[in-house]
Amino acid sequence: MQFIKTAVAAALATLAFSASAMTPIQDAELSTVSGQDGVSIAANLNIKIDSFTYTDTDALDANGLGGGSVSFNGIKVNGLIAANIDILSKASFLQAAGAAGVTNPGTFYNPATGGDVVQIAIPQSVVADGHYLNVSVDAIKMGNNAASFGSVAMNQIDMRGTTVWIFAH
C-alpha cells in the first residue's frame, strides 16, 4: 500500500512539473494571446502633515492691514482607498467621458489627434466597505500666535465611483 501511495505521489509531482514548464512562443502565436489588463492598487492611508501655511505677502497699508498668515497644524489623512488603473483607447476614453457626463472633451483632450488615456478609477464597491477617508486638522492658527481657532475634521469621505483620466498633449 505504501508503494502505491509513493508511486501516485511521484506521478502527480511529475505532472505538476510538466504542466508548469515554460515553452517558447513565436511572435505570430503571441499576437493571438490575450489576458487580464489593468492594475489594481489598494492603500490604507496614514498620512501626517505637520502644517500647511498660507502667507499673504501684501504690504501693510496705512491702517496696518495686509500680509499675515494662517497655518493648519497637525493634518492627518487616514482610511482605505482602492483604485483600478487601465489604459483606454481614444474611442474608449471618449465613450467613458460621455458616460461620466463630459459634454465637450475637446476643451481638454483633442478628439482628432488624442491618443491613449490612463484611467484611474475608484470602484463602487471595495473590500472593506465602510472604511472611508478621514481628514483632520488639530489646530488653525494666525501668524505666530499660539492660540488656535479650533480644529476641523472631515469624516467618512466616500470617493467610490470617482474616475481620473491622465493623458499626454
Per residue in 8-56, pLDDT (tens digit) is 445 444 544 444 456 677 767 766 665 556 677 777 778 898 998 988 8
Residue 101 clears pLDDT 80, i.e. is over it:
yes
Residues whose CB is less than 8 angstroms from the CB of residue 124 and which lie 6 or more positions away in sequence, other chains included: 160, 161
> Does 24 map to a domain?
no
> Does 120 map to a domain?
yes
pLDDT band at 5 (very low <50, low <70, confident <90, very high): very low
State percent of the chain over pLDDT 70.
75
Q: How far apart are CA 122 and CA 80, in angstroms?
A: 11
Return the pLDDT at 123: 78
Contact 50, 73 (CB under 8 A): yes
Q: Which domain holds residue 79?
A: 1-14+40-143
> Does 112 map to a domain?
yes
The pTM of the full predicted model, rounded to 2 decimals, is 0.53
> Does 168 map to a domain?
no
| Domain count across the chain | 1
> Does 117 map to a domain?
yes
> How much is the average pLDDT of 101-113?
88
> Does 135 map to a domain?
yes
Residue 36 Cα distances to 33, 39, 86, angstroms? 11, 9, 11
Most confident of 38-52, 66-80, 122-136, 152-166: 66-80
E strand residue ranges, 23-101: 39-56, 68-88
Return the pLDDT at 156: 84
> Residue 19 has which C-alpha cell?
504542466
> Does 63 map to a domain?
yes
Residue 79 Cα to chain centre, angstroms: 13
Q: How far apart are CA 36 and CA 41, in angstroms?
A: 15
> How much is the average pLDDT of 98-127?
85
> Does 30 map to a domain?
no
Residues whose CB is less than 8 angstroms from the CB of residue 147 and which lie 6 or more positions away in sequence, other chains included: 141
Mean pLDDT rounded to a whole number for the chain: 78
